[in-house]
Structure 1
Amino acid sequence: MPASLKWLGVLFAAAVLAAMAAGGIMFAQGRTRTRIMADQVSDGSNRAGREAMAAYGCGSCHVIPGIAGATGQVGPDLGKVAVRATIAGKFPNDPATMARWLRHPQAMIPGSAMPEQGVTERDARDMTAYLYTLK
């Protein structure tokens, strides 16, 4: 094989590796932006929300990406909940409505399968922040 073709192969491999590295950096930056924006729109902390969702046992009814053991099949899968148009198929998906739904689902839809869990206002904002990272 001519030396020029070997160098071309090396350059191609280097370009592929550089593109992969740049893609990884862009992905990480996008996730960081998503987390910051979720915290800002919800007035909560997505990190605290992740912990609160585990503490309230949300994963016993829902599949929730990023929450260990959250494999429930009773409620909807919450992956990509941030990009859904509605909450519970009925309410606009905005931070205030999400937090209200997490706190008082039975007041919003009496008889709903979503139980009252005694979620505090702070925990609801934090949980909303976490859910808004799930795109």
Structure 2
Amino acid sequence: MWRVLPVFALLALALSGCSNSKVEMNVLDPHGSAGEKQLDLINWSFILMLAVFAVVTTIYIYVLIRYRKRKGIDRMPEQVHGNTVLEIVWTVIPIILLAILAVPTVSTTFDLSEKPKTKDAIRVVVTGHQYWWEFEYPDLGIKTAQELHIPVGRKVDLEIHGKDVLHSFWVPSLQGKTDVVPGRVNHMTLDADKPGVYQGKCAELCGAGHALMDFKVIASNDADFNKWVAEMKAPPAPVTTASEKKGEQLFQQNCMGCHAGINPNVQGPDLNKFGTRTTIAGVLPHDEQHLKQWLHNPQAVKPGALMPKINYLQPDEIQALTDYLMSRK
């Protein structure tokens, strides 16, 4: 059995690089200043550890060859146990190496913890819920969910809150992890150096739906970002068709309590501009078929989701509710 273990180990290593994701999610290929600083620290740590490994391996091979058993020699090699000089040397060397590693680590940590000082920084309040993310732009009067829109080349100051349990906010291609703790406010600064869609994850086990607590950071140029801001601040398009009007009534009867803040004990995402999003619940494609799937049984899509089933509605009612939600643009 032990002979096949290396095969399985190599297979696991190969599969770890496989992904069907079409968005950026690579710590080793950063697209923001924070990610680049962290990569520099990773590279410095790797070089240091590689040097230590080379020295230790060299000494190990030398000892194997120099003190190997030879014919005609039965005595033990000279022992160095209790040698004060050697004890001091191999105690001091690791301390020096740790200090060499600690200085850039501490410096980078404090550097990344500083809030942006530029006046054009975007401020966003991030709230982690089970199992979705809320993004509020206090200075712009915008609130959305699952998609964080940012302008390329500008600092974004994230004020991170926790609503229920521990979470961890992580955008691998832009910035490292930041804990999301209920009752505590943490800060993160990130930016993007080129337009793109960057995958975000919850990096703290937070319940049954943890693996599906995804979000996206959508970085765009200033013109596209300003266009998105204008669209989000504009009132939703009026309902026009009979199906949309019926769906509006169903929404008011079944969904308003959680999604409009009427029920203080349960808070769902703001659906005011639901039709502009690119995903449903952060994990499903944004189309009518998957929206019906989500409405019918949210727990089947995202285990532990707090949204109740509304499978008691008739098919034509589900269609009307779907038409209404998709029209929210």
TM bucket (normalised to shorter chain) is: 0.5 to 0.7
Q: Distance in 1 between the 2:281 and 2:309 partners? A: 14
Unaligned residue ranges in structure 1 (runs of 5+):
1-30, 40-44, 64-69
The letter for the 2-side match of 1:46 is E
Number of the residue aligned with 1:83: 276
Correspondence 1:52 to 2:250: yes
The letter for the 1-side match of 2:324 is Y
Shift of 1:55: 2.3
Number of the residue aligned with 1:62: 259
User: Residues 60 and 53 (structure 1 numbering): CA distance in 2 closer, same or farther, change over 3 Å?
Assistant: same
Whichever of the two has the greater Rg, that structure is: 2
- Give the structure, 1 or 2, with the largest relative contact order (CA under 8 Å, sep 6 or more): 1
Q: How many residues align?
A: 92
Q: Report the RMSD for the aligned CA atoms in angstroms.
A: 2.6
Number of the residue aligned with 2:317: 123
Number of the residue aligned with 1:102: 295
The letter for the 1-side match of 2:315 is E
The letter for the 1-side match of 2:251 is M
Runs of 4+ with deviation above 4 angstroms:
70-73
Q: Distance in 1 between the 2:252 and 2:287 partners? A: 22
Q: Distance in 1 between the 2:322 and 2:275 partners? A: 9
Q: Of 282, 286, 289, which aligns to 1:93?
A: 286
Correspondence 1:114 to 2:311: no
The letter for the 1-side match of 2:258 is C
Number of the residue aligned with 1:74: 267
Q: Distance in 1 between the 2:250 and 2:257 partners? A: 13
TM-score, normalised relative to structure 2 = 0.25
TM-score, normalised relative to structure 1 = 0.58
Q: Distance in 1 between the 2:246 and 2:277 partners? A: 22
Q: Which moved more, 1:73-82 or 1:112-121?
A: 112-121
The letter for the 2-side match of 1:121 is P
Q: Percent identity?
A: 33
Give yes or no for contact 1:98–1:128 (8 Å, CA) kept in 2: yes
User: Residues 120 and 100 (structure 1 numbering): CA distance in 2 closer, same or farther, change over 3 Å?
Assistant: farther
The letter for the 2-side match of 1:95 is E
Corresponding residue SS for 1:61: helix
Q: Larger % of strand: which?
A: 2
Number of the residue aligned with 1:21: none
User: Residues 119 and 108 (structure 1 numbering): CA distance in 2 closer, same or farther, change over 3 Å?
Assistant: farther
Number of the residue aligned with 1:13: none
Superposition map of 1:28-43 within 5 A: 31=237, 35=240
After superposition, the C-alpha distances for 1:8-36 in whole angstroms (9 at most, x for unaligned) are: xxxxxxxxxxxxxxxxxxxxxxx57x845
Q: Distance in 1 between the 2:315 and 2:301 partners? A: 16
